[in-house]
Protein backbone atom coordinates (compact mmCIF):
# COMPACT_ATOMS: atom_id res chain seq x y z
CA UNK A 1 0.00 0.00 0.00
CA UNK A 2 1.25 3.38 -0.84
CA UNK A 3 1.99 5.98 1.71
CA UNK A 4 -0.12 8.56 0.09
CA UNK A 5 -3.19 8.32 -2.00
CA UNK A 6 -4.89 10.32 -4.62
CA UNK A 7 -5.50 13.15 -2.27
CA UNK A 8 -1.88 13.95 -2.29
CA UNK A 9 -1.89 14.48 -5.99
CA UNK A 10 -4.97 16.61 -5.52
CA UNK A 11 -2.90 18.77 -3.29
CA UNK A 12 -0.39 19.11 -5.98
CA UNK A 13 -3.06 20.28 -8.33
CA UNK A 14 -3.84 23.05 -5.98
CA UNK A 15 -0.32 24.23 -6.16
CA UNK A 16 0.16 26.93 -8.64
CA UNK A 17 1.88 30.20 -9.12
CA UNK A 18 -0.19 31.86 -6.46
CA UNK A 19 0.76 29.23 -3.94
CA UNK A 20 3.95 27.58 -5.16
CA UNK A 21 4.71 25.91 -1.89
CA UNK A 22 1.25 24.85 -1.08
CA UNK A 23 2.01 21.19 -0.76
CA UNK A 24 4.96 21.80 1.43
CA UNK A 25 2.92 24.15 3.56
CA UNK A 26 0.18 21.70 4.03
CA UNK A 27 2.56 18.89 4.73
CA UNK A 28 4.36 20.96 7.32
CA UNK A 29 1.13 21.81 9.02
CA UNK A 30 0.24 18.19 9.02
CA UNK A 31 3.49 17.17 10.57
CA UNK A 32 3.20 19.65 13.36
CA UNK A 33 -0.37 18.80 14.06
CA UNK A 34 0.18 15.08 13.91
CA UNK A 35 3.06 15.19 16.30
CA UNK A 36 1.04 17.15 18.76
CA UNK A 37 -1.81 14.75 18.48
CA UNK A 38 0.35 11.68 18.87
CA UNK A 39 1.97 13.12 21.94
CA UNK A 40 -1.38 13.93 23.44
CA UNK A 41 -2.58 10.46 22.72
CA UNK A 42 0.45 8.95 24.34
CA UNK A 43 -0.05 11.06 27.40
CA UNK A 44 -3.68 10.18 27.64
CA UNK A 45 -3.00 6.49 27.29
CA UNK A 46 -0.35 6.61 29.95
CA UNK A 47 -2.81 7.81 32.52
CA UNK A 48 -3.86 5.28 35.10
CA UNK A 49 -7.42 6.07 34.19
CA UNK A 50 -7.55 6.50 30.46
CA UNK A 51 -9.94 9.04 29.08
CA UNK A 52 -10.91 7.24 25.93
CA UNK A 53 -13.10 10.02 24.76
CA UNK A 54 -10.21 12.33 24.74
CA UNK A 55 -8.05 9.82 22.95
CA UNK A 56 -10.81 9.21 20.46
CA UNK A 57 -11.10 12.89 19.82
CA UNK A 58 -7.41 13.13 19.06
CA UNK A 59 -7.54 10.14 16.81
CA UNK A 60 -10.46 11.61 15.01
CA UNK A 61 -8.59 14.76 14.33
CA UNK A 62 -5.52 12.90 13.18
CA UNK A 63 -7.67 10.88 10.89
CA UNK A 64 -9.11 14.04 9.40
CA UNK A 65 -5.74 15.62 8.84
CA UNK A 66 -4.22 12.54 7.39
CA UNK A 67 -7.05 12.07 5.00
CA UNK A 68 -6.80 15.67 3.96
CA UNK A 69 -3.21 15.31 3.10
CA UNK A 70 -3.65 11.90 1.62
CA UNK A 71 -1.71 9.95 4.20
CA UNK A 72 -3.42 6.69 3.50
CA UNK A 73 -1.70 4.42 5.89
CA UNK A 74 -1.89 6.76 8.78
CA UNK A 75 -5.56 7.15 8.13
CA UNK A 76 -6.17 3.44 8.10
CA UNK A 77 -4.40 2.99 11.38
CA UNK A 78 -6.51 5.77 12.80
CA UNK A 79 -9.66 3.97 11.81
CA UNK A 80 -8.56 0.89 13.68
CA UNK A 81 -7.43 3.06 16.53
CA UNK A 82 -10.89 4.53 16.86
CA UNK A 83 -12.55 1.20 17.15
CA UNK A 84 -10.23 0.30 20.01
CA UNK A 85 -11.08 3.54 21.69
CA UNK A 86 -14.76 2.78 21.39
CA UNK A 87 -14.14 -0.59 22.92
CA UNK A 88 -12.05 1.09 25.59
CA UNK A 89 -9.35 -1.39 24.92
CA UNK A 90 -6.22 0.09 26.36
CA UNK A 91 -3.98 -2.57 24.99
CA UNK A 92 -5.35 -2.18 21.55
CA UNK A 93 -5.04 1.57 21.78
CA UNK A 94 -1.46 1.36 22.83
CA UNK A 95 -0.72 -0.91 19.93
CA UNK A 96 -2.45 1.38 17.52
CA UNK A 97 -0.67 4.33 18.92
CA UNK A 98 2.61 2.72 18.22
CA UNK A 99 1.51 1.87 14.76
CA UNK A 100 0.36 5.37 14.11
CA UNK A 101 3.55 6.76 15.35
CA UNK A 102 5.46 4.41 13.16
CA UNK A 103 3.48 5.17 10.07
CA UNK A 104 3.66 8.81 10.67
CA UNK A 105 7.39 8.77 11.05
CA UNK A 106 7.80 6.81 7.87
CA UNK A 107 5.55 9.18 6.02
CA UNK A 108 7.27 12.20 7.29
CA UNK A 109 10.67 11.02 6.30
CA UNK A 110 9.52 10.03 2.86
CA UNK A 111 7.71 13.27 2.26
CA UNK A 112 10.62 15.26 3.45
CA UNK A 113 12.83 13.37 1.09
CA UNK A 114 10.41 14.04 -1.68
CA UNK A 115 10.24 17.70 -0.96
CA UNK A 116 13.96 17.96 -0.79
CA UNK A 117 14.28 16.32 -4.11
CA UNK A 118 11.67 18.58 -5.60
CA UNK A 119 13.47 21.58 -4.33
CA UNK A 120 16.68 20.34 -5.80
CA UNK A 121 15.02 19.88 -9.14
CA UNK A 122 13.51 23.28 -9.05
CA UNK A 123 16.76 24.76 -7.91
CA UNK A 124 18.46 23.07 -10.78
CA UNK A 125 16.07 24.78 -13.08
CA UNK A 126 13.91 21.86 -13.82
CA UNK A 127 10.22 21.45 -13.13
CA UNK A 128 8.42 18.85 -11.25
CA UNK A 129 5.70 17.18 -13.24
CA UNK A 130 2.36 17.24 -11.52
CA UNK A 131 1.32 13.81 -12.60
Partner 1 sequence: MTVEHVNGDQFPSGLRVLAVDDDPTCLLLLETLLRRCQYHVTTTSQAITALKLLRENKNKFDLVISDVHMPDMDGFKLLELVGLEMDLPVIMLSGNGDPKLVMKGITHGACDYLLKPVRIEELKNIWQHVVRRKKIDAKDQNNSDNQDKPHNGSGQAEGMGNSDQNGKLNKKRKDQNEDEDDEDDEDDHNHEDPTTQKKPRVVWSVELHRKFVAAVNQLGIDKAVPKKILDLMNVEKLTRENVASHLQKYRLYLKRISCVANQQANMVAALGSSDPSYLRMSSVNGLGNYHTVGGPGQFQNSTFRSFPASGMLGRLNAPAGLGMHGLPSSGMIPMRHAQNSDNTTNDQGKFHPALLPGSHSGNILQGMPTSLELDQLQLNKNITSISELPNTKDNTTFHVSSGFPDARIGFGRSTNPLLDVNNNPLFLEGHPQEAHSNKMFGNQSLMSLNSGSSSRLPDHGRCNDNWSSAVQSSGIQPNSFSLGGDYKQPTLHPGHLRDNLSTMALPIGNSPCDVSSLHPLSNRFQDPKADLQFQAVQDAPCRSNVMFSPLNSAVSINGDVGPLGQCLDTNKTFFHRSNEFDSLGQSNFVDHFSMKINEVQRSSMQASSNLKEGYLMGQQKTQGSYISTSVDSLEDLFMSSMVKEVRSYNLAFSSCQNAFINSFYTTLTIIVKNLLNLFNCLLLWFRTKRRKFSI
What residue ranges bind partner 1 (CB under 8 A)? 7, 10-11, 13-14, 18-19, 22, 25-26, 29-30, 32-33, 57, 60-61, 63-65, 67-70
CB proximity list for 34: less than 8 A, separation 6 or greater: 62, 65, 66, 74, 104
Which residue lies nearer to partner 1 by CB, 70 or 96? 70
Least distance CB 98 / partner 1 (angstroms): 22
Which residue lies nearer to partner 1 by CB, 61 or 89? 61
Which residue lies nearer to partner 1 by CB, 45 or 62? 62
Least distance CB 5 / partner 1 (angstroms): 9
Burial class (CB in 10 A: 0-12, 13-18, 19+), 92: middle
Least distance CB 10 / partner 1 (angstroms): 7
Amino acid sequence: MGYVDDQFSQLHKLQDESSPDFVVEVASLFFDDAEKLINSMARALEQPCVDFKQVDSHVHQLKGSSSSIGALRVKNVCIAFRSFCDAQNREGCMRCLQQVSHEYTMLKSKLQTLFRMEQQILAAGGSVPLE
